[in-house]
């Protein structure tokens, strides 16, 4: 099954400093048909104005992956972690037993990002945070694992979940594939470009909810930057 979720069908809330679009029910947006996809709970497409951001607030028992598309986001948390994550880089926060953090766009330009929440395998784990660069050239023509709860996934940022977050860049006319299990749930969003999966075409920032496939084959109709989440 491949279900297209067009960008203009997503939940939306424009707060002035924050223009947010929700692939799944979040805050004041509720759609009973879009509460989660397997253990994927949140996929927010956020545009954050310069010199603004999220003041300190708490989380617990959630794996939160931030994929920065443009600009940068600056993180600070109650564990003493601080860091600036810029376009092309990824940060992961395991909320575990509880953590407070702030996320600010301290730049002179707009920041755009995907924030992805995955339900953990175990509650009450130790909280933590990490970030690292993932050069786009390293994922040209192939999926690279950015965050993972599986052993053996190399330099991927660790998360406390049976899940992978992957990225790829694909030239127009080229194809990338990802092997999965038909019982698992995958969610694919082109950050840029236009792609086709099976008979379904998706434009930039559309979502594709996928299950029942052994192999996900993505053909780029335009140069594209892809983010894929594979969860139980």
Q: In a 10 Å sphere around its CB, with 0-12 CB exposed, 13-18 middle and 19+ buried, how is residue 122 labelled? A: exposed
The CA dihedral of 80, 154, 91, 47, to the nearest 10 degrees, is: 180
pLDDT digits (tens, 9 = 90+) for 115-154: 999 999 999 999 999 999 998 889 999 999 999 999 999 8
pLDDT at 154: 85
Q: Is the pLDDT of residue 175 over 90?
A: yes
CB 156 within 8 A of CB 92: no
pLDDT at 183: 98
Compute the average pLDDT of residues 160-166.
98
What structural domains and CATH numbers belong to the chain? 2-231 (2.60.120.10)
* Separation CA 180–CA 73 (nearest Å): 31
Q: pTM score > 0.95 for this model?
A: yes
């Amino acid at each position: 099954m491949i279900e297209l979720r067009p960008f203009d069908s997503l939940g939306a809330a424009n707060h002035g400093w924050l223009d947010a679009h929700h692939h799944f029910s979040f805050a004041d947006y509720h759609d009973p048909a879009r509460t989660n996809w397997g253990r994927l709970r949140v996929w927010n497409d956020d545009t954050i104005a310069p010199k603004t951001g999220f003041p300190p607030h708490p989380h617990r028992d959630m794996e939160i992956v931030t994929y920065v598309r443009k600009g940068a986001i600056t993180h600070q948390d109650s564990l003493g972690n601080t860091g600036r994550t810029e376009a092309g880089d990824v940060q992961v926060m395991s909320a575990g037993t509880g953590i407070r953090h702030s996320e600010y766009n301290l730049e002179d330009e707009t920041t755009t990002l995907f924030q992805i929440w995955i339900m953990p395998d175990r509650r009450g784990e130790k909280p933590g945070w990490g970030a690292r660069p993932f050069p786009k050239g390293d994922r040209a023509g192939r999926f690279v694992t950015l965050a993972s709860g599986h052993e053996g996934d190399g330099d991927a940022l660790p998360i406390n979940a049976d899940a992978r977050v992957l990225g790829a860049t694909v030239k127009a006319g080229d194809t990338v594939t990802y092997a999965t299990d038909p019982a698992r749930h995958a969610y694919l969003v082109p950050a840029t470009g236009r792609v086709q999966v099976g008979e379904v075409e998706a434009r930039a920032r559309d979502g594709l909810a996928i299950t029942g496939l052994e192999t996900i084959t993505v053909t780029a109709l335009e140069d594209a930057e892809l983010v894929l989440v594979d969860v139980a």
